[in-house]
Amino acid sequence: MTLDKPEHLRPDGDWLARHVAGVVALALGAVAFLVVAITQEPLWSTPDPRISVPGFVATAIAATASIARRERAYPLWLGGIGLAGAALVLGWFLMLAVIIAATAVLILILHSVM
């Protein structure tokens, strides 16, 4: 007697076709973040809304399409929205990232000393 794998454990070759809107949302969010990071002159200032807002809107539309298609690709479209949202406030995002990184390094140093 052979046991077949349950339906949810069988290999699925059309994963990309079933999650295309989520993948597009993640890609658009990454592109929006990169475009804003590259085109922004002083990196710590607020980005130009003529560049950052259309990227966010396009990512939001792709995320909405993923939700409407019931793809259940939550990490994909959430990552895209997160990246596009970080691009809207890139200066604040980078300053917060620097503060968190410095705090983490200080915690590691103090933890090893004490």
The residues spanned by each domain of the chain are 16-113
pLDDT-derived band at 25 (thresholds 50, 70, 90) equals very high
Within 4-89, residue ranges assigned H as helices are 15-18, 20-39, 49-68, 74-88
Handedness of CA 10, 16, 22, 23 (dihedral sign): positive
Q: Note the pLDDT tens digit of each residue in 36-70.
A: 999 988 877 889 999 999 999 999 999 999 999 99
Output the pTM of the full model.
Answer: 0.78
